[in-house]
C-alpha cells in the first residue's frame, strides 16, 4: 500500500522530521489494524510506501530561510552596536553632560543621537 503526503517544505528540517514521524506512525497503525505484532519480517512485508510531494520548496534548500534571517540579524546588530558605541563615547568624554545642560529636552537629545543611525539602517535595508 501507498500513502501520499503533501508536505509544506518551506522549512526543510521540520518537514523532514514530520515526514519521517508520519511514516513510522502510519506503519504502526497499519500493523495494528491487521492485528499483527511488529516483528522485523512483518514490518518489512507490511510497510506502507510513503510518497512525498514537497510543496513550496521541493528541493529542500535551507538558504531560503537562513540568509534573510541572518541579514536581518547582522543589520540589527550593527545598528545597535553603532548606536551604543556613540552614546557611550559621548558619556565617557563628558559631552553628554554639556548637551543635557542645554535648553533642549533629554528626549530631543536622544532622538538627535539615535535618528541618524536609524536612517543609516533604513538605507542598509534598502540596499540589501
pLDDT tens digits along 94-119: 888 888 888 989 899 889 988 998 89
What ranges make up the beta strands (E) of the chain?
2-8, 49-55
Average pLDDT over residues 40-52: 70
pLDDT tens digits along 71-82: 888 888 888 898
Q: Where are the domains of the chain?
A: 2-55, 63-127
Q: What are phi and psi of 56, to 5 degrees?
A: 70, -10
- pLDDT score at 44: 60
Q: How confident is the model at residue 42 (pLDDT cuts 50, 70, 90)?
A: low
pTM of the model: 0.51
Amino acid at each position: 500500500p501507498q500513502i501520499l503526503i503533501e508536505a509544506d517544505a518551506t522549512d526543510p528540517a521540520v518537514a523532514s522530521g514530520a515526514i519521517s514521524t508520519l511514516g513510522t506512525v502510519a506503519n504502526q497503525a497499519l500493523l495494528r489494524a491487521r492485528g499483527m505484532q511488529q516483528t522485523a519480517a512483518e514490518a518489512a512485508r507490511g510497510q506502507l510506501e510513503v510518497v512525498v510531494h514537497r510543496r513550496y520548496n521541493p528541493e529542500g534548500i535551507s538558504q531560503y530561510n537562513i540568509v534573510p534571517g541572518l541579514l536581518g540579524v547582522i543589520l540589527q546588530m550593527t545598528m545597535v552596536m553603532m548606536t551604543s558605541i556613540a552614546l557611550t563615547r559621548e558619556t565617557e568624554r563628558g559631552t553628554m553632560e554639556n548637551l543635557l545642560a542645554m535648553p533642549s529636552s533629554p528626549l530631543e537629545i536622544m532622538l538627535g543621537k539615535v535618528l541618524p543611525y536609524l536612517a543609516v539602517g533604513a538605507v542598509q535595508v534598502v540596499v540589501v
